[in-house]
Amino acid sequence: MFKAILGDVSLLRDSLDAISSLATEGTFTINSNGLQLVAMDPASVSMAIFNLLSTAFVDYKIEGEKQITVNLDYLVQILKRASVTDQIFFELNPDKNALEITMKSISTRRFLVPLLNDITTPKKVPELEFPVKLEIETNTFKDGIKDASMVSDCVVFNVENNTFSMIGKGDVSETKLELTAESPALISINHNVPAKSKYAIEYLDKFNKASKLTDRVVVQYNTDYPLQIEFKALDKLSLKFILAPRVEND
């Protein structure tokens, strides 16, 4: 048995909108803590780790632990049909082998999301250690990505002397967004050593679909090492993305 009521549909909708740009299907683990999902793109370049806490729901009831696999694209399409005034009711329907979603406000609308057979291997979240941790205003982080995309398909992250830079380099053009410890948009900066690494903008653009969730993003990385960015809403959700670096022999 699983029944839950979500008052703010954007928590789930905006998170899954970003994740569905990486993977078309996803397996949720549902337990007393909430909903968890780990998904990876087909190229195994990026991973999403999503936790929607039970405290984010108006009401939440679960017996034991369940796993359900659904088409993420279809689920997002349904969630986008909800208005800001809707309460969203979720219930597993074993008779129809589906997740039943009901939206209630001035009308009542019901949708069935078919459950799929999960034939994929469970995704293991890598154990990573980061000597660099930054907390940046979300809009500023997005600006750095957009600036770099004007001249390149990659962005270089560089940190040294309490200064963080996002750099795009083309054949003849270059962009650079620089934040110092005194910059209002750089909320915090912690690093033990200088670190420089390059990442694909194609994936960062997909991750930034989740920027509606919070006005701050936590960025962690190392030289030629995976990047982790996290969008977090206290007592509601955590959405992390891991991205492999673009390592080239120059």
pLDDT tens digits, 179-194: 999 999 999 999 989 9
Look at residues 241, 211, 209 and name the one whose alpha carbon lies nearest to residue 76: 209
Outline which parts of the chain fall under CATH 3.70.10.10.
2-114, 132-243
Q: Do the beta carbons of residue 185 and residue 211 sit within 8 Å?
A: no
Six token digits for residue 173: 């053009």
Q: Provide the pairing of β-strand 132-137 with 216-221.
A: antiparallel
Q: What share of the chain is helix, strand, coil (3-state, %, to 5)?
A: 20, 45, 35
Q: What single DSSP character describes residue 193?
A: S
Q: Taking the model in full, what pTM does it have?
A: 0.94
pLDDT of the residue at 249: 57
Six token digits for residue 219: 């960025």
pLDDT of the residue at 247: 80
Q: Residue 248's pLDDT band (boundaries 50, 70, 90)? A: confident
Say if residue 87's pLDDT is above 80: yes
CATH of 2-114, picked from 3.70.10.10, 3.30.70.330, 3.30.750.24, 3.30.450.20, is 3.70.10.10
Amino acid identity, position 164: F
Say if residue 124's pLDDT is above 90: no
CATH class of 132-243: alpha beta
- In this structure, the number of other CB atoms found within 10 A of the CB of residue 34 comes to 22
Q: Do the beta carbons of residue 103 and residue 112 sit within 8 Å?
A: no
Tell me the three state secondary structure of residue 39: strand
* Alpha-carbon span 159 to 176, nearest angstrom: 13
* Alpha-carbon span 195 to 165, nearest angstrom: 11
Q: Residue 155's pLDDT band (boundaries 50, 70, 90)? A: very high
Residue at token pair 């007393």: 32
